[in-house]
Amino acid sequence: MNFVTGYCRLNEDFCAVNGEVISRRHIDSEDSWFKQIYKEQEFVYPKFYKMDLLSQAGFLGAELIKRGNLRVASSYPDDEIAMIFANGSSSTDTDIRFLRSYEGNSSPSPSLFVYTLPNIVLGEIAILNKWYGENMFAILPNFEPGFFINYLNITKAGGSKAALCGWLEILEGKVDVFLFFVEENEETGTPLNAENLTSLFNQKPSIN
């Protein structure tokens, strides 16, 4: 049986890990919201600054889940952690930024261009963690627990023992991100089923 053993929720106003708010957006800050979290949590990964918002969200979610669950980084060989991500708007947010980067006779930005695919975030997380397991990024109308549950079974059949899953919806200022880590037989977690996933997705986090 599969269990959710860590999760991170991120929207326009707060970032929560395992149900507890760890960061709130400061409206008057000069830094972007994701940069505020990066600095507050004292991450050191300069490549973060070059990433698009989708990859920044994936980086933050994955790293924060790892901090809350040390097994993520230490208990699995590099090919046993799968990644299963989805969203509704693909890379549209970055596509728009890329389009704007060469309006008015400016040169297109190569560093933005490389992020004009949604699955680049998977590559960023895989490179950072040296995870070489199965991965996929689906475009779906809404957060759909059944998709993750079904695809987890497929990756499990292929030899994966754990998976980082994520709903990463980012478009023109709207942020709706939910990352969760799934492991087999770790009964300290929440049993993985559609009802529990929906409940974690909609959970109102507590303030620590």
Residues contributing to the site for other proteins (CB under 8 A)? 46, 49-50, 106-107, 109-111, 114
Least separation in angstroms between residue 106's CB and other proteins is 7
Contact 165, 182 (CB under 8 A): yes
**Residue 77: phi, psi to the nearest 5?**
-60, 160
The number of helix segments (H) and strand segments (E) in the chain equals: 8, 9
Least separation in angstroms between residue 155's CB and other proteins is 30
Q: Which is nearer to other proteins, 92 or 109 (CB)?
A: 109
Q: Which is nearer to other proteins, 39 or 174 (CB)?
A: 39
Least separation in angstroms between residue 50's CB and other proteins is 5
Query: CA nearest 166: which of 71, 89, 85?
Result: 85
Count of C-beta atoms within a 10 Å radius of residue 146: 10
Q: Which is nearer to other proteins, 111 or 203 (CB)?
A: 111
CA distance 130 to 121: 14
Least separation in angstroms between residue 176's CB and other proteins is 25
H or E element in which residue 189 lies: none
Q: Which is nearer to other proteins, 74 or 106 (CB)?
A: 106
